[in-house]
Amino acid sequence: MATMNVSLPDPMKSWIEDQVRIGHYSNVSDYVRDLIRRDQEYQDQRETLIQALIVGEKSGVSSRSIGEIWQDVKGRRGPDG
């Protein structure tokens, strides 16, 4: 595993140390790794959304009404949707 040195303002350093102290993370590295994982997931989801929007834009104008589209979406979610 590689090592990186990061400079942080004192308030950020204190925040991370507090997260470790109260038991949310076992150490500072765990906290930073979790932030990176979350950012990676966010970026993946963002890219998926962008691609879906591009596909939708390229598909043209729908002949269905907003109500019809909404009913279709609700139908996909099941009885509680």
| Tokens describing residue 15 | 């925040």
How confident is the model over 7-65, as pLDDT tens digits?
A: 999 999 999 999 999 999 999 999 999 999 999 999 999 999 999 999 999 999 989 99
pLDDT of residue 80: 64
In a domain, 7, yes or no: no
Q: Is residue 50 part of a domain?
A: yes
Q: Would 76 be classed as within a structural domain?
A: no
pLDDT band at 79 (very low <50, low <70, confident <90, very high): low
78, part of any domain: no
53: tokens are 């929007």
Is pLDDT at 78 greater than 90 in this prediction? no
What is the number of domains present in the chain? 1
Residue 6, classed as helix, strand or coil, is coil
Range of the domain at 53: 33-59
Tell whether 43 is covered by a domain.
yes
Task: Please give the angle made by the CA atoms of 46, 48 and 53, to the nearest 5 degrees.
Answer: 95
